[in-house]
Structure 1
C-alpha cells in the first residue's frame, strides 16, 4: 500500500482520547520506554510504539494501553489489508488509594503492572486474541503474582501462585468500542479476580463461558463491574 499510515495516527489518537476523556482527565504524559521492548525480545506491537495512558477522576485511576490499535499494514495482505492494529486497547481502573499516582510511579503499582502485563499478553497473541474475544465475549488470563502486594496474596493468588484477570466485561462508564479511522477499536476491560472467583470460572483447567457471564452479572449487582480493587468483597464465597 503506497499511502503512508501516518495520516491515520492522529485520527486514531483523537478517537481514543475522546473515549478516555469521557471518563476523566487524561495525563498529557504517557508511560513509555526509552527502547521499545520489541527490540529486547518482547512481543511485537502494531508499530514500534508501546505506551500506556493514565486517566484520573475523583480519586480513581485508569491505566490503558496505547499502541495496540496503532494503524498497521498486514504483511500477508490481510482482509482488510490495513487496520487499526489488533483492533483493541486494554484498560484497568481502580478506586484504591495509591501512594503515588505520577506517571513515573504507576508502572510500579499493582494496577500498572497488572495492566502492562495484560497488554504484553494481548500483543503476544495479536489477532488470535481479538478473534477469541469476539467469539467468547469474555476470557480469563492468568499471570504471576509478583504484581500484587504480599498482603493481597491470600485472597487473590491461587495454589499455583497465579492470579486471574477477566477480560471483556462491559459497563456504562467506558464505551465498548470506538470508531478508528481504519477499523473499529474495542476497549477491553481487565478486572482482577479473587482466587475464589478465578476458580469459579476456570473449572477443570477449562474456562466456562457461562461462569464468566455469571461473574459479570454479579459484578454489576455489586455496583462496580469494571473496577479492580484489593479490598472489594468477593462475589464468590
Structure 2
C-alpha cells in the first residue's frame, strides 16, 4: 500500500490541503504525536501509507487533535490510487489547557478518543467511509478505552464511552481537495452516557435518534466541540 514514488508526487499536495484546513482554525503545531514503533508491525491496523500520526492545532478556546495519515496517497492491488481512505478524523476539546505539551495532549481523554477512533477507521477502511456516506451520522462505542479524568456520566456500564461521528459546522470544512480524491474531515463528538443510550435504544430507531441528538447539540451551540462540563441534551 505504501509507495515512495506516489508519496513524492502526491504527498506534498495532500498534506498542504489538510494543513490549510487546520490552520484556518488555529495554530498548527510543528510536532506530531507518533508511535516509536508502527503498531501495524505489532498486530495493529495498518494505516493506508503506513504513516500513523496525529497533529495538534491550538487556539484560545480549544485544542484540535486530528489523525494524520488516514488520507495519505495509497496504491491498491485492485483499484486506482486514492488519498488513502479519503478521510481524516478530529475532535476539539474545549476544556484542556491550550498550552498543554504534546505528551499531555496524547495522554488526555482527547488523545484516547481520537486515537481509538483513528484505529477503528484504519481497521474498517472504506467500510467506514461508505457507511458514513450512507448514514451521515454514526455512533461508535469505545469499550475499555481508558479516558483519564472523564466523569462517570460519560462512561457506560462496560467501562467505555460513546462518540458521535459526522457532525458538521461552518467552523471546519467538511471536505478538502486531495490530488487523488476528495478528503473528508470528520468530527468526533464525545457523548454523555444518556446521549449514547438514547441513540442506541430510541423506539423510532437509531437513525432518528442520532439525528435528534445532533439537532439538540446544534441548538446547544458549538457542536464540533467536546468538553467534560457540557450539559447532556438528553
Fold match by TM threshold 0.5: yes
Query: C-alpha separation between the residues in 2 aligned to 1:87 and 1:69?
Result: 5
1:32-85 Cα distance to aligned partner (Å, 9 max, x none): 122111111110111111000000011410000000000001112x2xx11000
1:144-169 Cα distance to aligned partner (Å, 9 max, x none): 3543235512x111222221000001
Cα shift at 1:214: 1.0
2:147: which partner in 1? 148
Kept in 1: contact 2:63–2:98 (CA 8 A): no
Q: For 1:85-164, what aligned pairs fall within 5 Å after superposition?
A: 85-98=84-97, 101-149=100-148, 152-153=151-152, 155-164=153-162
2:70: which partner in 1? 68
Query: C-alpha separation between the residues in 1 aligned to 2:215 and 2:202?
Result: 22
Query: C-alpha separation between the residues in 1 aligned to 2:4 and 2:106?
Result: 36
Query: C-alpha separation between the residues in 2 aligned to 1:205 and 1:107?
Result: 38
Question: Is the partner of 2:215 in helix, strand or coil?
Answer: helix
Q: Which of 175, 198, 201 matches 2:199?
A: 201
Kept in 2: contact 1:59–1:97 (CA 8 A): no
Residue 5 of structure 2 is aligned to residue 4 of structure 1: yes
CA RMSD of the aligned region, Å? 2.0
Structure 1: runs of 5 or more not aligned: none
2:26: which partner in 1? 24
Aligned residues: 231
Query: C-alpha separation between the residues in 2 aligned to 1:118 and 1:32?
Result: 15
Query: C-alpha separation between the residues in 2 aligned to 1:171 and 1:19?
Result: 13
Query: C-alpha separation between the residues in 1 aligned to 2:44 and 2:205?
Result: 27
When residues 91 and 70 of structure 1 are mapped into structure 2, their CA distance, relative to the original with a 3 A threshold, is same
2:47: which partner in 1? 45
Q: Please list every run of at least 4 consecutive aligned residues from structure 1 whose deviation after the TM superposition is greater than 6 angstroms.
A: 204-207
